[in-house]
Chains A and B, each alone.
Chain A
Amino acid sequence: MSDYGKIILGLVGFLVLCTSPFWYQVLSSDGLPAPELKLPVGEQGCVESKEYMRALHMDLLNRWRDAVVRDGERIYVSTSGREYQMSLTGTCLGCHTSRADFCDQCHTYVGSENYCWSCHVEPINLRVEAR
């Protein structure tokens, strides 16, 4: 086993190479900027609690989609008793007026692509992209 040292060195080198993106993030000063959400001004709160929306907004959106498309329902009665129209463009983007300043902040950060916008219309940014 005269190559013992070489093998260990090779393995260490391999591990460092594999994990280099993480080291790069940690060590570089201008790493990936954290998401900065622009929240709507003057609103009391979202459809459900902030904690729920943050963790499970995708469940809510899926339920809204099924309710509207499959069951022909349009009204959502939240736990606070307030009624909302289930509409991505109308209700969600009615407050969060910019996809880039809200949705994309986290979705781009974690690399999770959503394909809502290939059909649903954004209030502001679409016109620019379409050209």
Chain B
Amino acid sequence: MDKRKRSFLKVAGSSIIGVLGLGWVRPVTAAQVPGATRKPVEALTGKRLALAVDVKKCSLEKGCSACIDACHSRHNVPTQLQAEEEIKWIWKETYEHAFPTQAHRYTESTLKQQAVLVLCNHCENPPCVRVCPTQATWKREGDGLIMMDQHRCIGCRYCMVACPYGSRSFNWQDPRRSLGDQLNREYPTRMKGVVEKCNFCAERLVFGEEPLCVAACRSKSQALLFGDLEDPDSEISKTLKERHSIRRKPALGTEPQVYYLV
């Protein structure tokens, strides 16, 4: 009996000390800063930002790569890597490969081999976001863009497996090794071991500028249309209502937000 009383007092005593000790424990909270943060007033906003690619107008076929070059040089995407370590934000694919479910044996050969511009589709139901274990990639409230936080990416590559469009690339080596003198000092690079992809130029949208690919195409073929699909008066909304458009692998239910006018 004595022994049980003794052990009870031990447990009770240490519990009281433990509870009192909790008073000194500081909960981990988000950093508090004295100032305030806000968006720039000129930010380009929309409820559902999307891109339309006019395949008929696009001159990829004729060797134009203004949009790809503008994107990759500005975002420090190394272009000299071997195929298996390749990093792509926006690139060229044949119609047959971009739309495997829409091409068949008898599709006219000109269309089958037609060069098509492909990039992250910024899906309405993004499978990459569902699988990310660290929430390093997420769908942005407000405009629906699929964002990447390179600070949080642990390089597990689940998102790369989940993405049915191959829109994500892994940094197998330090990108600075191959960037060399081409480094753009106004934009960060990535580091070895993280995944990257197109961000619809979120860093430009926030200052009211359209994505680089769209800006680069404006002076060339004017084949790219960027805008808000929830706004019925936007150019992209009007065009999609008038012309036939297709999307990549629609049966998967990801609801891609890059539309192809064919």
Using a CB–CB distance below 8 Å, which chain A residues touch chain B? 47-48, 52, 56, 58-60, 62-67, 69-79, 86, 89-90, 115, 118-121, 123, 126-127, 130
Contacts and interface: CB of A to CB of B under 8 A. Distances in A.
Given A72-B140, A73-B39, A130-B176, A79 B185 contact: no
Interface of B: 30-40, 43, 140, 142, 147, 149-151, 174, 176-177, 179-180, 183, 185-191, 202, 206-207
Nearest to A131: B180
Q: By DSSP majority rule, is chain B's interface helix, strand, loop, or mixed?
A: loop
B101 to A, nearest CB: 34
Given A69-B151, A75-B37, A118-B191, 9 more contacts: A56-B31, A58-B31, A71-B37, A76-B36, A77-B37, A79-B35, A89-B188, A123-B185, A130-B180
A22 B189 CA distance: 40
B209 to A, nearest CB: 12
17 contacts: A48-B33, A48-B34, A59-B32, A62-B31, A63-B33, A63-B37, A64-B37, A72-B206, A73-B38, A75-B40, A77-B35, A77-B38, A79-B35, A118-B191, A121-B185, A121-B187, A126-B185
A73 B38 CA distance: 5
Contact of A75 (B39, B149, B174): B39
A74 B39 contact: yes
B188 A119 contact: yes
Contacts of A64: 37
A121 B188 contact: yes
B62 to A, nearest CB: 35
B34 A119 contact: no
